[in-house]
Structure 1
Amino acid sequence: MRTNILIGLLITIGLVTSVVAADWPQHLGPQRNGVSNEPAIASDFPNGKPPVVWTRPVGSGWAAPVVANDRVLIFHRLGNQEILESLEVQTGKVVWEQRYRTKYVDQFGFDEGPRSTPAVVNGRIITFGANGDLVVRQEKTGEEIWKRSILEEYRGESGYFGYACSPLVVGDRLVLNIGGRNAGIVAWDVRTGKELWRATDHEASYSSPIVTRFHDQDTLVFVTREAVVGLDPESGKIRFERPFRARLRESANAATPLAIGNELFVSASYRVGALLMKIAPDFQLQEVWSGDEVLSNHYNTSVEQDGYLFGIHDRQESRAKLSCVNWKTGKLQWLQRDFGCASLIRVRDRLIAVNEDGDLIVLAADPMKYRELIRVPVLASPVRAGTAFSNGQLYARDKNRLIRVNLQAK
């Protein structure tokens, strides 16, 4: 069983995988850190605009597209149905689609589509709907393998904006933060849907988990609504736990944790702020630095480059800024005001951002100063979904369209 867990970790960090090296098969990419190891992207284009290769109508939702095995998977909602579509990567044409009825109603009437990004692992596609419908399908056909109604079975709370945790598969284990009664975090056998373990009684957040290695031990890391939690993937045993939430009830933990070596970075808005911790061999947590002044992620996850963090600071309604922060010290390098919340992907020494206004922005990952290289409108505001990057192509969506943009260097 331990071998299966290790294989799952290798899948997650991109060393062993059923998808090709340039695929973007899950939330934040192959390593779940918003980083692509592809060749550098172009810095200029004819007329200053990277070409939009194709456009595809879609429904509502904040689920990011994913790319695997020459297919683009998009999870969205039309009417009272949540829909998963498999599209040809070259043309955007539909290969297959699967749909089911949903009863989810957004409390604020903002958007009623799915929030969770699908995962493609070993010939399977996993989706998690806004109302708690967890479905595993065959990758080639979309045929359902198994389904569970998390809201009904685990009697959890879907929160202000529905279920949003993006599924993570480690070995044969599918894990999610669902906020169930005495089942805050749950693992199932991805092949059968059988529950394997449950841990915590924490409410669900809008953050998604990662798997990493601390001191040569595979470790799941979750940011729940209440805390940062590290667990053994095999047993669900808690290795560490630290409170991490706002005093304000009307708040959210939404950014994904980021691990480098034996250090762990987490961030949230609502006066929680950023926190870098060092993980000891016995899994004790030592604070390196913390603060709410320079990098409080509302819902977008920061990316790292050569010892510096680039991320969105402050809340969406406050017109968030883009900041660069020293990983080791938390010192602010620079801050770009009025940037807006934005999904970030790093490709070599370039950052690709699509902000809430629908602008595609390419900038240098330069810790010394803000250097914008390209800015062009590509989508309609508001844009909150994440993006995907594969083979030099950027995939992005708003509430009406999915686009493929060619950023490949000539």
Structure 2
Amino acid sequence: MCSPVLCVLIVLGIAGPSAFAADWPCYRGPNHNGISQETDWSANWGTSGPKVLWQKSIGIGFSTTAVADGRVYNMGNSDKKTDIVYCFDAKTGQELWKHTYPSPLEPKYYDGGTLSTPTVAGGKVYTLGKMGDFFCLDAKTGKVLWQKQLNKELGFELPTWHFSSSTLIVDDKAILNIGTGGLALHKDTGAVVWQSDKGKCGYATPVPFTMDGRPGLALFGEVTLVAVSPTDGKRLWEYPWRTQYEVNAADPIVVGNQVFLTTGYKRGCGLIEVHGADVKKIWENRVMAMQINSPVLHEGHVYGFDENVFKCLKLQDGSEQWADRSLGKGALMMSADGRLIITSERGELVIAKADPQKFDVLARAQILTKTRCWTSPVLANGRIYARNAAGDFVCVDVSGK
């Protein structure tokens, strides 16, 4: 779902840690793993909490934030009938432009609104609406460069809770988790490069990886984890993964030849190992069932939400290390120095050490007031951005200056 829902692929790997400020141009960041390389930031804000730099109302939705070249991008639904893509000045919060298009709210057992996250690459912004409205916009002006209607124009079937994939840019392709095994459009023209069967997709975003020197994309489908070639969409391998309501929304985590999977709706999590086209199960349990967001991996341990319980588990055997019930159904990311950045369901910003021994809180502060903060926070250039489902969008200062 939201992902409750990627960006220029510079390398198919993880860059080394850096203390410098860093942009966050797509869902889950430039390394597609929810981990920022920015470490020169501070959670020493005392009892008053971090300074609020600016606040906006951006409409109902669960889109996360993209930050690039001094600009901030996000999305929301207004008046139950219009989606809006916003561009703000990162320092001041001044609205630089907005792009609107007709789209229903569709509150199906949740608040509704936008699900995917803008992707910024090469001076362009790529956005996907839940009904299949795909836009390529000029990053500076918001001008429409090209657009596609994936449902009506290309015939892709809407999943039950609608499209939520964010865009992954690989070479000259804009790739989406659409259909049974993905869709690739030319990033400059929108022409179809390759496509899969037009059945229902899952709700996660494509995750790039390299196994045995071969690049691939992991796409969580409706009932299957599928790996395809980014060049032509050819299937490399697949693994069945069915849930109670056929909702696979959390991005998989790929580590070498192993892949960690987690899903809500009574399925849980597991670790698989891949060699060529052969896939085998290492373990599977119900310790962590992430319904709508994605976990992070640090030093052999996975941190994420088991529905409304925040947990740490050991990657190699799936054993639970600890559990905390104070956050509700929240969301998270992490900086490369092992600090977890969490928003609780009730709008509290929590900074904690990624420690497999205990839930070690370093700082916490209330930065949003309404419930349903299910969207992952974003750290970029000494600022943390967070939103709730109602569209309250806040930027706080964590630069330590």
TM-score of the superposed pair, with normalisation by structure 2: 0.91
* Cα separation, 2, equivalents of 1:143 and 1:201: 29
1:250-289 alignment, distance < 5 Å = 250-280=245-275, 282-289=276-283
- Return 5+ residue gaps in structure 1 as ranges: 1-6, 315-319
In structure 2, relative to structure 1, the CA distance for the partners of 1:87 and 1:14 (3 Å cut) is: farther
Q: May I ask how many residue pairs the two structures share in their alignment?
A: 387
2:98 is the counterpart of 1:97: yes
* Cα separation, 1, equivalents of 2:116 and 2:163: 7
Superposed CA offset, 1:139-185 (max 9, x none):
11111111011111233343333211111111111111223xxx652
2:303 is the counterpart of 1:306: no
Contact 1:240 1:283 in 2 (8 A): yes
Q: Aligned to 2:319, which of 331, 338, 347?
A: 331
SS of 1:367 mapped into structure 2? coil
In structure 2, relative to structure 1, the CA distance for the partners of 1:8 and 1:217 (3 Å cut) is: farther
* Cα separation, 1, equivalents of 2:8 and 2:294: 23
In structure 2, relative to structure 1, the CA distance for the partners of 1:408 and 1:386 (3 Å cut) is: same
Q: Which moved more, 1:334-343 or 1:304-313?
A: 334-343
In structure 2, relative to structure 1, the CA distance for the partners of 1:21 and 1:172 (3 Å cut) is: farther
1:48-59 alignment, distance < 5 Å = 48-59=48-59
* Cα separation, 2, equivalents of 1:90 and 1:340: 31
Match of 2:165 in 1: 165
SS of 2:178 mapped into structure 1? strand
SS of 1:47 mapped into structure 2? helix
SS of 1:328 mapped into structure 2? coil
Match of 2:67 in 1: 67
1:331-370 alignment, distance < 5 Å = 331-347=319-335, 348-370=337-359
2:396 is the counterpart of 1:408: no
SS of 2:47 mapped into structure 1? helix
Match of 2:137 in 1: 137
* Cα separation, 1, equivalents of 2:8 and 2:78: 34
Deviation at 1:200, TM superposition (A): 4.2
Runs of 4+ residues over 4 Å off in structure 1: 11-15
Contact 2:223 2:240 in 1 (8 A): yes
Contact 1:12 1:32 in 2 (8 A): no
SS of 1:383 mapped into structure 2? coil
Q: Aligned to 2:223, which of 210, 223, 226?
A: 226
Match of 2:238 in 1: 241
Letter in 2 for 1:295: M
Contact 2:116 2:164 in 1 (8 A): yes
SS of 2:96 mapped into structure 1? strand
Contact 2:9 2:168 in 1 (8 A): no
* Cα separation, 1, equivalents of 2:105 and 2:8: 35
* Cα separation, 2, equivalents of 1:85 and 1:299: 23
* Cα separation, 1, equivalents of 2:305 and 2:112: 25
Letter in 1 for 2:281: E
Deviation at 1:327, TM superposition (A): 1.2
Contact 1:48 1:374 in 2 (8 A): no
* Cα separation, 2, equivalents of 1:407 and 1:21: 11
Letter in 2 for 1:362: I
Superposed CA offset, 1:280-327 (max 9, x none):
1x23212222111x111111111011111101113xxxxx11111111
Match of 2:89 in 1: 88
Deviation at 1:29, TM superposition (A): 0.9
Deviation at 1:261, TM superposition (A): 1.9
Deviation at 1:105, TM superposition (A): 4.4
2:377 is the counterpart of 1:382: no
* Cα separation, 2, equivalents of 1:135 and 1:313: 34
SS of 2:163 mapped into structure 1? coil
* Cα separation, 2, equivalents of 1:360 and 1:172: 37
* Cα separation, 2, equivalents of 1:48 and 1:364: 21
* Cα separation, 2, equivalents of 1:222 and 1:126: 19
- Return 5+ residue gaps in structure 2 as ranges: 1-6
SS of 2:153 mapped into structure 1? helix
* Cα separation, 1, equivalents of 2:232 and 2:162: 28
TM-score of the superposed pair, with normalisation by structure 1: 0.89
Q: Which moved more, 1:136-145 or 1:193-202?
A: 193-202
Structure 1 vs Structure 2: percent identity of aligned residues? 28
Contact 2:136 2:146 in 1 (8 A): yes
More helix by share: 1
Contact 2:331 2:373 in 1 (8 A): no
In structure 2, relative to structure 1, the CA distance for the partners of 1:13 and 1:395 (3 Å cut) is: farther
Match of 1:3 in 2: none
* Cα separation, 1, equivalents of 2:321 and 2:14: 31
Q: Which moved more, 1:222-231 or 1:392-401?
A: 392-401
Contact 2:33 2:296 in 1 (8 A): yes
Q: Aligned to 1:372, which of 361, 386, 389?
A: 361
* Cα separation, 2, equivalents of 1:149 and 1:327: 40
Match of 1:317 in 2: none
Letter in 2 for 1:275: G
* Cα separation, 1, equivalents of 2:89 and 2:9: 29
2:33 is the counterpart of 1:33: yes
* Cα separation, 1, equivalents of 2:324 and 2:73: 33
Contact 1:199 1:238 in 2 (8 A): no
In structure 2, relative to structure 1, the CA distance for the partners of 1:9 and 1:90 (3 Å cut) is: closer
* Cα separation, 2, equivalents of 1:68 and 1:257: 25
Superposed CA offset, 1:331-384 (max 9, x none):
111111243122211111210101211111111111111111222221121222
* Cα separation, 2, equivalents of 1:384 and 1:24: 19
Deviation at 1:107, TM superposition (A): 5.3
